[in-house]
Amino acid sequence: MDDVILLDFWVSVFGQRVRIALAEKGVHYENREENPQNKTPLLLEMNPVHKKIPVLIHQGKPVCESNIIVQYIDEVWHDDKSPSLLPSDPYLRAQARFWADFVDKKVYEAGKKIWMTEGEEDRQVAKKELIEVLKVLEGQLGEKPYLVGESFGLADIALIPFSVWFHAFGKMTMNMNIERECPKLAAWVNRCMEREAVSKSLPHPHKIYEFDQKKKKGHE
């Protein structure tokens, strides 16, 4: 037993990143589901600054912020048996961090706008913004199998949970077709999903869509 607890919430793209990294490394851990509406005292104690999941508690000590947790996991469970999640070359490491940060700043913000927006017109503006952001990633991907270097890693882990959103956006009568707009990115999604660590860590797109629909009904 590695003495690892993950404070998580199944819908969270940030929690999903940590689940993917732990699965890639083959780390055994206890997953504790949090309710964002009713946070446990443990969560508030372990992340008093942001009070947010995910928190990785390793040997009693908390690590917060998903991209930071993924790097922590890569540094702690570093052996020949599991893949490295960051390249060894400093320049490629900086690239990986840059694109993981880009996903937080741009993809998350653009995607959130789509979830939050109610009117059809505003939603189309938000959709256009997201497509533009994804086209930047399409450019970065180019002919490479993964976003940075030749191996699956930090930047891919940062982005792949959002692929579930794209499916949901497609269902939200948005006529958003990633295959048509960003064919290389669509192929990259399929490539990532072939990894068991990824596919088993992400919820089915239909469940996310259902969750959103229920939430909206609850607010009516």
Task: For a copy of itself, give the closer residue by CB, 94 or 193.
Answer: 94
* DSSP E strand boundaries for the chain: 4-8, 30-33, 55-58, 61-64
Smallest distance, a copy of itself to C-beta of residue 104, A: 10
Closest CA to 195 of 6, 18, 20, 29: 20
Task: For a copy of itself, give the closer residue by CB, 47 or 164.
Answer: 47
Residue 125 Cα to chain centre, angstroms: 23
Task: For a copy of itself, give the closer residue by CB, 86 or 202.
Answer: 86
Smallest distance, a copy of itself to C-beta of residue 192, A: 22
Chain length of the chain? 220
Report which secondary-structure segment, H or E, holds 72.
Answer: helix 66-76
Binding site for a copy of itself (CB under 8 A): 49, 58, 61, 63-65, 68-69, 71-72, 75-76, 90-91, 93-94, 97-98, 101-102, 136
Smallest distance, a copy of itself to C-beta of residue 21, A: 13
Kindly list the distances between the CA atom of residue 29 and the CA atoms of 51, 160, 214, in Å, as whole numbers in the listed order. Answer: 21, 21, 30
Smallest distance, a copy of itself to C-beta of residue 190, A: 25
CA distance 210 to 28: 30
Smallest distance, a copy of itself to C-beta of residue 48, A: 9
The phi and psi torsions of 14 (rounded to 5 degrees) equal -75, -40
- Contact present, 54 and 18 (Cβ < 8 Å): yes
Task: For a copy of itself, give the closer residue by CB, 24 or 65.
Answer: 65
Task: For a copy of itself, give the closer residue by CB, 78 or 206.
Answer: 78
